[in-house]
């Protein structure tokens, strides 16, 4: 099983399924070996609604959801509410339903500090009925509880006994909150499987060119084929407004595509007014954004000062151009400010 962030793939496999949820990819590589049930396409849909247990007041919550060995998604942030409601839907490709899992992690996100994990929940794909929407209430538990269960599954009988004796002293809380979700697991037709294979070889536009093909596929398959991730690598930002002898400016970058947005951690600018952002930003781009020709990829550079946040400058790129070029690279002059930004902007399809 591959680890870490970034883009991964399923070697020798066609993704015969989907899951509707909230950008990075992980996957399992099994070579070209055949597996029982490989020719049976499947699909999963997932709708995030809202927690059923009140959360602490005045927190900003966000869900990170992914299917094990598949893509990842991120919901929008619901700011300062005890009962956040998302009503967001996402699609995932499912290649090995007997092994894959839907894992959800809820975070309390702060604008200027790393997010704090509230809890996480797990839903095995094999527990879902084919072609039927299922309502589930998932229990979110602290990460330490998940680690305990993993260790318990590997423990010997004597280790089980020792863990049971020490459990009252190391237990760090049970259920943190509940989340109400709707999940649909649906097989793909043979025509849809062939369309997915065509899209993986030649791209979405080539696969959807024929009108007969467009009429014979479900909206979920169309979304899976056309959507993807915009990834920004911001190598360097230089601006005169960041030059200061009295203080060290704190800078962050934000990337926004319609309602989807991702922010970088704070970084320090040097005395010459330069700031580097080593970690890339990735934003999930939904079907509505892809099909809207006016959609822009916005990159905003902000400085956190003594009296608040100010904009150093911004850049805008048409999403259609980013998708067509696949990669945009260079040094660009900042709008609404003086300075430049050296960056790489990439479009990566999910298939």
Residues 125-175: tens digit of each pLDDT = 889 888 888 899 998 888 776 665 666 677 777 776 666 666 555 555 567
User: How does 23-35 read in b/e, with b if 16+ C-beta sit within 10 Å?
Assistant: bbbbbbebeeeee
Q: Decide whether 44-188 matches 228-349 in CATH topology.
A: yes
Question: Is the predicted pLDDT of residue 74 greater than 90, yes or no?
Answer: no
* Bridge partners for 250 per DSSP: 268, 304
Mean predicted lDDT score pLDDT of the chain = 77
Q: pLDDT tens digits for 195-217?
A: 888 888 887 877 877 666 667 67
Question: Is the predicted pLDDT of residue 21 greater than 60, yes or no?
Answer: no
State phi, psi for 143 to the nearest 5 degrees.
-55, -35
> Which pLDDT does position 37 carry in this prediction?
42
Percent of the chain's residues with pLDDT above 70:
72
Across 13-35, average pLDDT = 35
In angstroms, rounded to a whole number, what is the distance separating the alpha carbons of residues 199 and 209? 11
> Which pLDDT does position 298 carry in this prediction?
97
> Which pLDDT does position 6 carry in this prediction?
34
> Which pLDDT does position 314 carry in this prediction?
95
Among 21-30, 175-184, 298-307, 310-319, top mean pLDDT goes to 310-319
Banded pLDDT at 259 (limits 50, 70, 90): confident
CATH number of the domain at 228-349, please?
2.60.40.150
> Which pLDDT does position 16 carry in this prediction?
43
Banded pLDDT at 119 (limits 50, 70, 90): confident
> Which pLDDT does position 346 carry in this prediction?
95
The residue ranking higher by pLDDT, 194 or 34, is 194
Contacts for 186 with CB less than 8 Å, ≥ 6 apart: 17, 18, 42, 43, 44, 45, 130, 131, 218, 220
Torsion sign, CA atoms 148, 152, 155, 159: positive
> Which pLDDT does position 56 carry in this prediction?
66
CATH of 44-188, one of 3.40.50.300, 3.40.50.2300, 3.40.630.30, 2.60.40.150: 2.60.40.150
Domain boundaries, the chain: 44-188, 228-349
User: How does 148-177 read in b/e, with b if 16+ C-beta sit within 10 Å?
Assistant: beeeeeeeeeeeeeeeeeeeeeeeeeeebb
Across 288-304, average pLDDT = 93
pTM of the shown model = 0.66
Lowest pLDDT segment from 63-77, 111-125, 251-265:
63-77
């Amino acid at each position: 099983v591959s680890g870490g962030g970034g883009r991964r793939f399923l070697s020798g496999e066609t993704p015969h399924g989907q899951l509707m949820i909230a950008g990075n990819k992980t996957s399992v590589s099994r070579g070209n070996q055949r597996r029982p049930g490989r020719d049976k396409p499947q699909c999963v849909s997932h709708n995030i609604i809202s927690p059923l247990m009140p959360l602490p007041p005045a927190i900003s919550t966000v869900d990170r959801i992914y299917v094990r060995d598949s893509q990842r998604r991120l919901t929008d942030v619901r700011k300062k509410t005890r009962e956040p409601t998302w009503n967001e839907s996402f699609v995932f490709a499912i290649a090995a339903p007997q092994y894959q899992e839907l894992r959800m992690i809820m975070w309390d996100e702060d604008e200027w500090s790393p997010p704090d994990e509230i809890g996480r929940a797990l839903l095995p794909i094999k527990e879902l009925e084919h072609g039927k929407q299922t309502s589930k209430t998932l229990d979110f538990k602290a990460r330490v509880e998940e680690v305990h269960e993993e260790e318990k599954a590997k423990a010997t009988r004597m280790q089980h006994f020792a863990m049971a004796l020490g459990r009252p002293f190391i237990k760090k809380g049970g259920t943190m909150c509940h989340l109400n979700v709707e999940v649909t697991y649906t097989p793909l037709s043979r025509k849809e499987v062939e369309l997915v294979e065509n899209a993986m070889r030649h791209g979405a536009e080539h696969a959807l060119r024929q009108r007969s093909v467009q009429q014979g596929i479900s909206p979920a398959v169309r979304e899976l084929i056309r959507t993807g991730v915009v990834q920004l690598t911001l190598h360097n930002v230089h601006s005169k407004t960041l030059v200061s002898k009295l203080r060290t400016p704190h800078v962050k970058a934000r990337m926004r595509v319609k309602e989807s947005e991702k922010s970088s951690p704070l970084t320090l600018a040097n005395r010459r007014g330069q700031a580097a952002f080593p970690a890339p930003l990735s934003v999930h781009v939904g079907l509505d954004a892809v099909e809207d020709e006016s959609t822009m990829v916005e990159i905003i550079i902000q400085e956190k000062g003594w009296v608040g946040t100010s904009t150093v400058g911004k850049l805008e790129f048409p999403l259609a151009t980013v998708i067509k070029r696949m990669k945009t690279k260079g040094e660009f002059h900042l709008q609404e400010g003086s300075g430049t930004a050296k960056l790489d902007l990439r479009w990566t399809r999910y298939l």
